[in-house]
A and B are shown apart, each in its own frame.
Chain A
Amino acid sequence: MTAELRTATGESLYPRLEPLLAQVQKPIQYVGGELNAQAKPWESTDVHWALMYPDAYEVGLPNQGLMILYEVLNERPDALAERTYAVWPDLAGLMREHGVPQFTVDGHRSVRDFDLLGVSFATELGYTNLLEALDLAGVPIHVGDRDETHPVVVAGGHAAFNPEPVADFVDCAVLGDGEQAVGDITDVVKAWKAQGRPGGREELLARLARVDGVYVPRFYAVSYGADGTISAVTRTRDDVPAKVGKRTVMDLDEWPYPKTPLVPLAESVHERMSVEIFRGCTRGCRFCQAGMITRPVRERTITGIGSMVEQGLKATGYEEVGLLSLSSADHSEIGQVAKELADRYEDSKVGLSLPSTRVDAFNVTLANELSRNGRRSGLTFAPEGGSERIRRVINKTVSKEDLVRTVTTAYANGWTQVKLYFMCGLPTETDEDVLEIAELAVEVIRAGREASGRKDIRCTVSIGGFVPKPHTPFQWASQASAETIDSRLKLLRQAINSDRRIGRSIGLRYHDGKPGVIEGLLSRGDRRVGRVIERVWREGGKFDGWSEHFSFDRWVAAAAEELAAFGVDLDWYTTRERTQHEILPWDHLDSGLDKEWLWDDWQEALSEEEVADCRWTPCYDCGVCPTMGTEIQIGPTGRSLLPLTVV
């Protein structure tokens, strides 16, 4: 079909899709019609966005980022946004057989018809699903093969802070908060279309590259040296920025989204409503990419939280509210927020939860308020490192005594289930550091039984392999091999099981080290890794976040064959420690963090030195606030929630 002949009609594919749905698993995930879903007219809107979460519907639907952008865009009279998710292989097979393209669940329109396809990458393991969706949509997977009738593929989410491995497939990446950026992009596309698409796709992308926070990989050339490292990244046009900085939304109270969260009929991974109580984190955990790239801390006020909870509950009927952030107990007014919300919803049995709580910020009063309205769910703490030494390395300092005391207090106050989350394969880690996890768990159970007088308390140790991420002090670190991870996990399992009287109260949940190696390749990869992704997808790889679909062997074989020509390999990207002055693939993408500060923090990690949180102590000069023109926004505001008037 030629470009001139094709018009994007936005016609519904549902009549063609419906007969296929009778033949697949969980068809409800493809029909849309969720509570609070939007259906806007195609013709009377100027700019059409398809928003994709590149995983299954049940994982993608509750994603806050996508829900926020869906509302923000649909509030504009000139824009329409619809959602699309990865389709399972059973339906994908039928779609190919019957010529039904990738569709949106709202209007069941072809993704091919949209002006933009926004894809939110919370994890790199969604990359193969993007290729599958593009192919199903009839959109060429390579940016160079697309013309001005194809949607502009925009990547967002945390993984977009290093989009180089998908530079062949995405037209642009948005760094940082999307709320304002999507509006700016919409304006650019609208103007370009109204002017009759001057200069074609090239001109549109050049205009987008000048939008704050938007990175267009094709306008940057990467060259490599003899040792395989990057020798230079140079602009190919002088009207695009040399370094692309991230976007930061200031004053969360002005962005109370989602106002009307989507409620699916189908089961999803989070059966609750979420309110983001603050964004950013300055605790400075060195492994944590989210904490590094979302600085500074911006709190929503207690009154802002109160009105979002009230409006959201009315709009959804959910029975649980998650108070979301990177470390929710750190909100300056969390005690009051929890107490006043629990008071307000005492009669309607609405439960509250804090999905992530630091050991040192936990207190029983807070925990009791959270569980007051009937439901006492389990508690999760994330010490991350097994020994005090390794916790100093990662800058998540909490003493063993404090940890045991906190968990014991929880047992003494009636909690019977505590989950402890750890990582394995951290920089400088030895077998001993990991074996201390077992000692800790045994101590927790022993002290917990004594304090609670009960034998049926349980502790679940959940442990995952550490993957070094871009824009963190560990971006230079050597990633532990799968063999190292697996052997340490084995030692840990043996240690936990050595005393059955205690060990039977301890559950161990872990994954083998293999998926982490591939995640590591994709996280710190450069443009050459794109060939590996493409090959894996061509050989049938998709849903890499699902153990039943993930094939380590396929990734390893593809990496060996595609990377050999460049003189590099899988280990080069994962277990190789980087040197101070190596040009990293994401150095031209600016999270605001000063590279020298990151390097110093890496050196301090190696010498086991801690760094304090700049919310409560003087600034440690990470560079974000001055570079980005932002500042820490925290309370206390001194305000409180007013009781709602009973009608």
Chain B
Amino acid sequence: MARQPDGPPPPPTVQKLRIRYAKRGRLRFASHRDLARALERALRRAQVPMAFSAGFSPHPKISYIGAAPTGSASEAEYLEIGVAIRCDPEAVRAALDAALPEDIAVLDCVEAGQGTGSLADRIDTSVWRVELPGVALAELQPAVEKFLASDVVTVAKRTKNGLKDIDARPAVASASAAVEAGCAILHMVVRQVTPAVRPDDVLAALAAVADLRPPSPPRAVREAQGRLDDTGTVADPLGPDREARPSVQEEHATV
């Protein structure tokens, strides 16, 4: 039989908080694991009263939903935490934001609405903006058109088991080319499928269909995540929580 630690089990989760944060600037080079470490330490510094799992190695209750790839910036990363004492979501947001490095910003924190379902179920699509330094709109535009006109665009993707061919086309719900300050910008809405189609894969697809090869590495930012509706809009995944009334009316502990 597995041994159990002495003493009472840790206090249960009394409230779930859903958090949206951004990774910007230099910290776009942080991996998901890097960010997880930083967030867990920041929660401790901010003295958020985390709920812990039971056992010999108690872990704080945190679940991460998706993660932008290493090298990509994001304005819309999500996680959910369980706390052992009820908290004012805005106080948690401010405290966590202050405890994190400057290039990680905590943008939103809401209490999970009772009966609104899981956060992961409300996210199936990403909105991307990719800057392509050194590429002209006149090059990007036809490449995007050619890509959208194709039924299948096969690209080689690096996976744990070596290179694997995937079709990058079906995941891309929409894409368009623009220009800002002389730099071509690729806007796209990409469904979160398995295996994942990431901005790099779409760029590889543009190289495949139109021989578009940016002279320096493109910079991708995930601008939003959520559920894609029939009109092509991506809904705010925290919307249902904002609309739901708090489940229990209790005094908020200060953080």
Contact = CB atoms under 8 A, between A and B. Distances in A.
Interface of A: 14, 19, 21-23, 26-28, 30-35, 263, 265-267, 271, 314-319, 348-349, 374-376
Contact of B58 (A21, A267, A349): A349
Contact of B45 (A23, A265, A317): A317
Nearest to B46: A317
Q: Which has the most chain B C-beta neighbours within 10 Å: A35, A265, A314? A: A265
17 contacts: A21-B71, A22-B71, A23-B217, A28-B30, A28-B31, A33-B25, A33-B26, A33-B101, A33-B102, A34-B101, A263-B41, A265-B30, A266-B34, A316-B45, A317-B99, A349-B58, A374-B5
A33 B101 CA distance: 7
Q: Which of B29, B71, B216 has the most CB of A within 10 A?
A: B29
Nearest to B42: A317
Of A266, A267, A376, most buried by chain B (CB within 10 Å of CB) is A266
Contact of B52 (A22, A271, A349): A349
Interface in B27-41: 27, 29-31, 33-35, 37-38, 40-41
A33 B103 contact: yes
Contact of B37 (A14, A21, A33, A267): A267
A263 B104 CA distance: 15
What 4 pairs between A and B have smallest CB-CB spacing? Answer: A317-B41, A22-B217, A27-B29, A317-B44
Contacts of A28: 27, 29-31, 34, 70
Nearest to B23: A265
A27 B70 contact: yes
A615 to B, nearest CB: 36
Given A317-B99, A349-B52, A376-B56, A31 B41 contact: no
| Residue among B25, B27, B37, B102 with most chain A CB within 10 A | B37
Contacts of B217: 19, 22-23
B57 interface: yes
Nearest to B71: A22
A377 B44 CA distance: 21
A27 B73 CA distance: 13
Contacts of A376: 56
Contacts of A265: 27, 30, 34-35, 37-38, 101
A23 B71 CA distance: 9
A26 B29 CA distance: 8
Given A22-B71, A31-B29, A317-B44, 14 more contacts: A14-B26, A21-B29, A33-B26, A265-B30, A266-B30, A267-B34, A271-B37, A317-B40, A317-B43, A317-B45, A374-B5, A374-B58, A375-B57, A376-B56
A14, A26, A27, A32: most-surrounded residue (chain B CB, <10 A): A27
A266 B27 CA distance: 11
B25, B26, B37, B102: residue with the most chain A Cβ atoms closer than 10 Å: B26
B30 to A, nearest CB: 5
Contact of B41 (A33, A318, A349): A318
B221 to A, nearest CB: 14
Contacts of A317: 40-45, 99
Given A19-B216, A265-B34, A349-B52, A31 B27 contact: yes
Interface of B: 5, 25-27, 29-31, 33-35, 37-38, 40-45, 52, 56-58, 70-71, 99, 101-103, 216-217
B156 to A, nearest CB: 17
Contacts of A319: 44
B27 A33 contact: yes
A375 B56 contact: yes
Contacts of A14: 26
Contacts of A318: 41, 44
Contact of A374 (B26, B40, B57): B57
A21 B216 CA distance: 11
A34 B29 CA distance: 13
Given A19-B217, A31-B27, A314 B45 contact: yes
A375 to B, nearest CB: 6
A21 B99 CA distance: 26
A292 B58 CA distance: 41
A159 to B, nearest CB: 31
Contact of A32 (B26, B31, B35): B26
A349 B57 CA distance: 10
Contacts of B101: 33-35, 265
Interface centre among A28, A34, A263 (most CB of B within 10 A): A28
B58 to A, nearest CB: 6
A30 B58 CA distance: 32
A21 B73 CA distance: 14
Contacts of A375: 56-57
B213 to A, nearest CB: 14
B41 A267 contact: no
Contacts of B33: 267
A364 to B, nearest CB: 16
Contacts of B57: 374-375
Nearest to B133: A19
A33 B45 CA distance: 17
Contacts of A23: 217
Given A19-B216, A265-B101, A27 B71 contact: yes
A30 B5 CA distance: 41
A154 B99 CA distance: 35
A453 to B, nearest CB: 13
Contacts of A266: 30, 34
B143 to A, nearest CB: 20
Contacts of B27: 28, 31, 33, 265
B200 to A, nearest CB: 10
Nearest to A105: B26
Contacts of B30: 28, 265-266
A69 B19 CA distance: 38
Contacts of B42: 317
Contacts of A35: 38, 41, 101
Contacts of B37: 265, 267, 271
Contacts of B70: 27-28
B59 to A, nearest CB: 10
Contacts of A34: 101
Contacts of B26: 14, 31-33
